[in-house]
Amino acid sequence: MALLTALVVIFAFGVVAGSGAGAAADHRGDRRGLAGPDGRGRAETMVRTPSPALKLKDWAKQQISADKQRRRNPRATKPIPGLKITSKTAGQTGLAARAADTTSALILYDTTGPYGFLGELYGMATANLAGRFGEVTAKPVSQYTAGQVEQHTATIYIGSTYYGGGIPDAIPDAFYSDVATTAKPVIWINDNIWTLANKIGIANFTAKYGWDPTNSYFDPIGDVTRVDYKTQPLTRTVPDGGDNGVLRPYVTNPSLVTPLAIANDTSTTPATTFPWALRSSNLTYLGEIPYSYVNETDRIIAWHDLLFDALAPNTPTRHRAILRLEDISPNSDPNQLMNIARYLAGQRIPYAFQVIPVYTDPNGEYNDGVPETVTLAQRPLVVNALKYMLANGGRIVAHGYTHQYKNVANPYNGVTGDDFEFFRAHVNVDDYVIFDGPVPEDSETWADGRIAAGKAEYGPVGLPVPTIWTTPHYAASALDYGVIKQHYAARLERSLFFSGQLSGGPVDGQRYIGQFFPYPVRDVNGATVLPENLGNYEPESQNNHPARFPADIIRAARYNLAVRDGFASTFYHPYYPVAPLREIVRGIRDLGYTFVDPATLIP
For residues 378 and 295, state if they share a domain.
no
- Is residue 74 domain-resident? no
Query: Residue 455 in contact with residue 465, Cβ under 8 Å?
Result: yes
Residue 10 has pLDDT above 70, yes or no: no
- Is residue 444 domain-resident? yes
For residues 203 and 285, state if they share a domain.
yes
- Is residue 53 domain-resident? no
The Cα 351–Cα 397 span in angstroms is: 10
The Cα 464–Cα 396 span in angstroms is: 8
For residues 302 and 338, state if they share a domain.
no
High-pLDDT (> 90) share of the chain, %: 81
pLDDT computed for residue 52 by the predictor: 52
Residue 527 has pLDDT above 50, yes or no: yes
For residues 294 and 397, state if they share a domain.
no
- Is residue 178 domain-resident? yes
The Cα 543–Cα 546 span in angstroms is: 9
Question: What CATH number is attached to the domain comprising 254?
Answer: 3.40.50.880
The Cα 301–Cα 290 span in angstroms is: 9
The Cα 302–Cα 319 span in angstroms is: 15
For residues 438 and 572, state if they share a domain.
yes
Residue 452 has pLDDT above 80, yes or no: yes
For residues 159 and 248, state if they share a domain.
yes
Bridge partners, residue 488, by sequence:
none
Q: How many domains does the chain have?
A: 2
pLDDT computed for residue 96 by the predictor: 64
Distances, alpha carbon 408 to alpha carbons 217, 400, 476, 543, in Å = 50, 17, 17, 19
For residues 269 and 366, state if they share a domain.
no
The Cα 285–Cα 303 span in angstroms is: 11
pLDDT computed for residue 101 by the predictor: 66
For residues 293 and 335, state if they share a domain.
no
Tens-digit pLDDT profile for residues 177-222: 999 999 999 999 999 999 999 999 999 999 999 999 999 999 889 9
Bridge partners, residue 190, by sequence:
159
pTM for this entry: 0.92
- Is residue 473 domain-resident? yes
Query: Residue 595 in contact with residue 349, Cβ under 8 Å?
Result: yes
Q: What mean pLDDT do residues 459-477 have?
A: 98
Of the listed ranges 8-12, 226-230, 249-253, the one predicted with least confidence: 8-12
For residues 371 and 480, state if they share a domain.
yes
Q: What is the largest CA-CA distance in the chain?
A: 81
For residues 282 and 330, state if they share a domain.
no
Q: What mean pLDDT do residues 310-332 have?
A: 98
Residue 141 has pLDDT above 60, yes or no: yes
Residue 320 has pLDDT above 70, yes or no: yes
For residues 283 and 327, state if they share a domain.
no
- Is residue 167 domain-resident? yes
For residue 391, give the amino acid letter: A
- Is residue 10 domain-resident? no
Of the listed ranges 49-63, 209-223, 530-544, the one predicted with least confidence: 49-63
Between 6 and 492, residue with greater pLDDT: 492
pLDDT computed for residue 56 by the predictor: 81
- Res. 280 pLDDT band, cuts 50 70 90: very high
For residues 286 and 348, state if they share a domain.
no
- Is residue 78 domain-resident? no
The Cα 346–Cα 113 span in angstroms is: 58
Residue 340 has pLDDT above 90, yes or no: yes
Tens-digit pLDDT profile for residues 363-418: 999 999 999 999 999 999 999 999 999 999 999 999 999 999 999 999 999 999 99
Which of 406, 203, 401, 323 has its CA nearest to residue 580? 323
pLDDT computed for residue 207 by the predictor: 97
Identify the domain containing residue 468 by its residue range. 15-48+318-601
pLDDT computed for residue 115 by the predictor: 93
Boundary (domain end) residue, out of 265, 281, 311: 311
Question: What CATH number is attached to the domain comprising 38?
Answer: 3.20.20.370
Q: Please give the mean pLDDT across all residues of the chain.
A: 90
Residue 48 has pLDDT above 90, yes or no: no
Burial (Cβ within 10 Å: 0-12, 13-18, ≥19) of residue 317: exposed
